[in-house]
Amino acid sequence: MKMSPEYTKAQENMQPGVITSDGFLGDDTRNIVDIIEADEEEFSRLGMDFDEVVGILRRLLEEGRKGLGEPVTIDGKWIVTTTEARGHLASPFEDGIYRKVNALIEHAPGGTPDGTSLLVSDLSLHLMEKNHFLQGKGASFRIDPETVKKVLEL
């Protein structure tokens, strides 16, 4: 993949202070095309499908919202706690605006958390689904493929 003008603009939008105070890249110095390619390769190596993962994570986020901020146990495997803040965030790819809804998804086999968790948002799920962008290493909302596999039991 090549750094097209759209990717170059998106990477500019991902810098700290443009859309969010911390940005989307963490301490990752690679360009977003290289980040996306590496994460696609890792997903493939782990035998995971982006659409399937997004579907599961979106279901968990929506089920967690029913708890109105209180932890919700789902399927005896996950404890999900959602938070909502006023306002919206724009996609760095300039393809939508998303509510500030976050979900902490804890892996909890048998209802007991094992210390493994994912933090996702409406925006991070959109970025994963549409662009296979999981954010840079060190980013607050980075969705690590190995952690996804463990938390979702895939």
* C-beta of residue 125 within 8 angstroms of C-beta of residue 61: yes
* C-beta of residue 143 within 8 angstroms of C-beta of residue 118: yes
pLDDT at 64: 95
pLDDT at 129: 97
The domain containing residue 139 runs over which residues?
A: 5-152
User: CA-to-CA distance for 64 and 77, rounded, in angstroms?
Assistant: 13
Q: Global pTM?
A: 0.92
- Mean pLDDT for each 10-residue chunk of the chain (154 residues)? 90 95 95 97 98 97 94 96 93 94 95 94 96 96 97 96
Instruction: Look up residue 94 and give its two tokens.
Output: 């300039």
pLDDT at 3: 86
* C-beta of residue 28 within 8 angstroms of C-beta of residue 137: yes
pLDDT at 111: 87
Q: Do the strands 97-107 and 117-121 form a parallel or antiparallel pair, or are they unpaired?
A: antiparallel
Q: Provide the domain count of the chain.
A: 1
pLDDT at 2: 82
